[in-house]
Amino acid sequence: MATGFAPLKNDLILRAARGETVERPPMWIMRQAGRYLPEYHVVKDGRDFFETCRDAEIASEITIQPIDHFDGLIDAAIIFSDILVIPQALGMEVLMIDGKGPSFPHPLRSPEDLKKLRTTVDITKELDWAFTAITLTRKKLNGRVPLLGFCGAPWTLLAYMTEGSGSKMFRYAKEWLYRYPKESHELLQRITDVAIDFLAHQVAAGAQMLQVFESNGGELGPVEFDEFCLYYLKQISAKLPAKLAELGITEKIPVTVFAKGSWYALDKLCDAGYDCVSLDWLHCPAEAVKTANGRVALQGNMDPGVIYGTKEAITAKVEQMIKGFNGGKKNYIINLGHGTQPMMDPEQVGRLRVVGYMTPSLYKLS
């Protein structure tokens, strides 16, 4: 277990996730590191995406870029990596093609293909670079803000592994669920086991909070969500403490779940064993607060498209959102409802700061 890190100077997000009343709502932004920041492209310098992730010096630099860029605005760093490193750990080849996105040369198209996956995964060997990057980043952060670790959730990863890329139709992923349900469960279970191990080792390496991304949640209706998503999301939260204990970690590590598009599942997600539930912009904040009823902290949920609006529109929308979350001083973390997009203007992203809620003296709004 990595030790000897500097004490935290800003633990707002950890306190908010624990349900404590805080002086102002903490904020971080999904996909805050990367594509829309000019300094990311300078450091990446045309290199392959996964090569960049595997270089601890570069990955840590990119992770910290948004913390420096928006000094005083962002209350957590998220390690620069990707959800698709779990398929890689399972033995699949994943390429990141510029301007296109992820691509698997050999996707899983039938249950026979499950034989191509490793049956046992030594996570410390397969993803050692991820842990090295986390430890180095935590050291470089020097306690400025907590470092978040993350992983992709089982259904979202099954979809990438069977489709072989991002998808609009989900033709192969749905074929797996409805033609090969037994084998789909086998695959989901194997991903779940690796995810638990991966999350625990990220904490051992220095991650202070975790997020599980079920980005394709909304592709399933409520019945299938229970069967193919929720069952595994609950296993992750239930089994993580024992896995952490095996690694000598007994302190409570806050974990967030983000099931994009699964508005119908909010009530169940609040009882799924997570500390925080991240919401997309299909939720009305006040309704979500009512449903959650203090069971979890809520994170989100502004339409990322607002970033394309005027300065006034951004400010008005952030204020409206925070009011919807009861002023945000309890059980709330400011975030977008999904990630930033490559075309976004960093100056516009910086306007998420709202006078009165954030710390104006630390961040100069132009």
With CB under 6 A as the contact rule, the residue among 49, 131, 176, 325 that binds ligand 1CP is 49
Amino acid residing at 158:
L
**Cβ neighbours around 37 below 10 Å, total:** 21
Structure tokens at 82: 């990707």
Q: Does 34 bind ligand 1CP (CB under 6 A)?
A: yes
8 A C-beta contact, residue 297 and residue 331: yes
Residue 40 beta carbon to ligand 1CP: minimum distance, rounded to whole angstroms = 7
With CB under 6 A as the contact rule, the residue among 6, 9, 91, 166 that binds ligand 1CP is 166
Residue number, 103 or 326, with CB nearest to ligand 1CP: 103
CB under 8 Å, gap of 24 or more: what pairs does 296-299 form?
Answer: 296/269, 296/270, 296/331, 297/16, 297/17, 297/18, 297/19, 297/331, 297/332, 297/333, 298/325, 298/331, 298/332, 298/333, 299/256, 299/258, 299/332, 299/333, 299/334, 299/335
**Cis-peptide, bond into residue 301, ω within 30° of zero:** yes
State the DSSP H helix or E strand holding residue 39, giving kind and residue range, or none if neither: helix 38-44
With CB under 6 A as the contact rule, the residue among 18, 31, 295, 330 that binds ligand 1CP is 31
Q: Does 33 bind ligand 1CP (CB under 6 A)?
A: yes
Q: Which part of the chain contacts ligand 1CP (CB under 6 A), choosing from 24-32, 120-128, 195-203, 358-366?
A: 24-32
With CB under 6 A as the contact rule, the residue among 82, 163, 197, 280 that binds ligand 1CP is 82
Q: Does 32 bind ligand 1CP (CB under 6 A)?
A: yes
Q: Which part of the chain contacts ligand 1CP (CB under 6 A), choosing from 1-9, 25-33, 113-121, 324-332?
A: 25-33
Distance in angstroms (rounded) separating the CA atoms of residues 2 and 208? 12
With CB under 6 A as the contact rule, the residue among 37, 59, 83, 358 that binds ligand 1CP is 83
8 A C-beta contact, residue 348 and residue 312: no
Residue 338 beta carbon to ligand 1CP: minimum distance, rounded to whole angstroms = 6
Q: Does 137 bind ligand 1CP (CB under 6 A)?
A: no
Question: Bridge-partner residues for 164, per DSSP?
Answer: none
Residue 225 beta carbon to ligand 1CP: minimum distance, rounded to whole angstroms = 16
Residue by residue, DSSP assigns 304-324 as GGGGGS-HHHHHHHHHHHHHH
Q: x/- site string to ligand 1CP, residues 167 to 206, per CB under 6 A? A: ----------------------------------------
Q: Does 299 bind ligand 1CP (CB under 6 A)?
A: no
8 A C-beta contact, residue 164 and residue 44: no
Residues 311-340 touching ligand 1CP, rule: CB under 6 A, are 339
Q: Token pair 């008005």 is at which residue?
A: 316
Residue nearest to ligand 1CP (CB): 34
Radius of gyration over alpha carbons of the chain, in Å?
Answer: 19
Q: Does 215 bind ligand 1CP (CB under 6 A)?
A: yes
Structure tokens at 27: 């904020």
Q: Does 164 bind ligand 1CP (CB under 6 A)?
A: no
Torsion sign, CA atoms 22, 25, 31, 35? negative
Q: Which of 193, 209, 202 is nearest to 132 (CA)?
A: 202
With CB under 6 A as the contact rule, the residue among 35, 140, 174, 185 that binds ligand 1CP is 35
Residue number, 123 or 289, with CB nearest to ligand 1CP: 123
Residue number, 237 or 340, with CB nearest to ligand 1CP: 340
Residue number, 215 or 299, with CB nearest to ligand 1CP: 215
With CB under 6 A as the contact rule, the residue among 36, 80, 228, 332 that binds ligand 1CP is 80
Binding stretches for ligand 1CP (CB under 6 A): 30-35, 49, 78, 80-84, 96, 101-102, 150, 166, 213, 215, 339
